[in-house]
Amino acid sequence: MSTSLAGKTALITGSTSGIGLAYAKALAGEGANVVINGFGDKDAIEKERQGLETLSGAKALYSGHDLTKVDQIEAMMKDAADTFGGVDILINNAGMQHVAPVEEFPLDKWDLIIALNLNAAFHTTRLALPWMKDRKWGRIIQTASAHSLVASPYKSAYVTAKHGLAGFTKTVALEVATFGITANCISPGYVWTPLVENQIPDTMKARGMTREQVMNDVLLAGQPTKQFVTAEQVAATALYLCSDAAAQVTGANLSIDGGWTAQ
Ligand code: NAD
């Protein structure tokens, strides 16, 4: 499958690490200019940004705004427009998690998770669409989650946001269906990212388990293949969604979860 994205601009939220960085590498490798976003060490981010520019010669811009705030989302979208004209491929990927029973869920965490995992996608989408509609081409991709389809206890804000994101995406897909713009969710199960890897030592200590027990009996308990999804597998699905072969794939929620949601 050839997916030349030369001349296109992709903005990927939360792309200084994990799945977002894998998207940025995949899209830059196919010739797209990329706008990366997220937090982290300044020098490490600049190194990643420069590395992205070596993949195909396309440009990479870092816009490190906090996407829990509407004015900062607007500033990020303006950075992209000022540098590249507009955004052809929008990947809403920035996300956070907090685990607590509903009656003890910290109010500030609830608000932050809904703001980042759900509201930010509304704001980036409304700001990206005019450019996509003018050009009669666009791709909107959400990193949703298996938790956009099923729930787990103690993750009420995350599950609410991801289910909301799935509904929002279907609505957008219908509204822009005649403009050459598609909108889809990618819903991974457990993906091997630094975030997941970093949980292992604490869980080993807390539960008195070996590394293998934590991976198989805790993290992969619900994933029938008993293997982690890789960030590169998720990014490859985004590349497919950007290709002409996927022009009629819209309003879909594509699971990459080792069979989790088949159960
Ligand atoms: P990660 O923690 O490695 O990456 C999260 C990114 O979001 C980072 O770049 C971080 O700096 C950025 N970010 C955090 N708060 C932000 C804010 N306020 N404004 C802007 N950027 C912010 O996590 P990941 O595992 O790569 O997750 C990426 C997405 O994939 C999330 O939406 C997550 O819900 C989803 N997801 C992850 C998994 C998994 O197992 N890792 C599974 C399903 C879905």
Residue 98 falls inside a structural domain: yes
Rounded distance between C-alpha atoms, residue 1 and residue 226, angstroms? 29
- Say if ligand 1 is within 6 A of residue 210 CB: no
Q: For residue 204, name the pLDDT band (cuts at 50, 70, 90).
A: confident
Q: Measured from the CB, is residue 196 less than 6 Å from ligand 1?
A: yes
Atom from ligand 1 closest to the CA of residue 117: 32
Q: Are 140 and 90 in contact (CB under 8 A)?
A: yes
Cβ of 143 below 6 Å from ligand 1 = yes
Q: Among residues of the chain, what percentage have pLDDT more than 90?
A: 87
Residue 33: CATH number of its domain:
3.40.50.720
The CB of 11 under 6 Å from ligand 1? The reply is no
What is the tens place of the pLDDT at every residue in 213-251? Answer: 988 888 899 999 999 999 999 999 999 999 999 999 999
Task: Tell which one of 11, 16, 19 to mutate to probe ligand 1, the residue whose CB is within 8 A of the most ligand atoms.
Answer: 19
**Count of the separate structural domains present in the chain:** 1
Other Cβ atoms within 10 Å of 98 Cβ, number: 16
User: What's the whole-number mean pLDDT along residues 21-32?
Assistant: 98
Find the DSSP H helices in the chain.
Answer: 18-29, 42-56, 70-84, 107-114, 120-135, 156-175, 194-197, 199-207, 211-213, 231-242
Give the Cα separation of 80 and 214 in Å (integer).
Answer: 41
Number of H helices, E strands in the chain: 10, 9
Please give the pLDDT value at position 166: 98
pLDDT tens digits for 151-181?
988 899 999 999 999 999 999 999 999 999 9
Q: Which two tokens stand for residue 118?
A: 């759900």
Q: Which residue lies with its CA nearest to atom 6 of ligand 1? A: 14
Evaluate whether residue 209 is within a structural domain.
Answer: no
Question: Looking at per-residue confidence, does 184 or 209 come out higher?
Answer: 184
Q: Domain range spanning residue 130?
A: 9-189+229-257
**Does residue 62 have an active-site annotation?**
no
Q: Tell me, using a 6 A CB cutoff, whether residue 194 lines ligand 1.
A: yes
- Domain presence at residue 139: yes
Residue 93 in domain: yes
pLDDT of residue 201: 86
In a domain, 210, yes or no: no
Facing residues of 192 across strands?
230
Q: Is residue 72 part of a domain?
A: yes
Mean pLDDT score of the chain: 96
Q: Is residue 142 part of a domain?
A: yes
**Does the residue 212 lie in any domain?**
no
Q: What is d(CA 26, CA 138) in angstroms, rounded to the nearest whole number?
A: 17
Q: What pLDDT, on a 0 to 100 scale, did the predictor assign at position 199?
A: 75
Among residues 23, 62, 154, 158, the one annotated as catalytic is 158
* pLDDT single digits (tens) 37-73: 999 999 999 999 999 999 999 999 999 999 999 999 9
2: confidence class by pLDDT, cuts 50, 70, 90: low
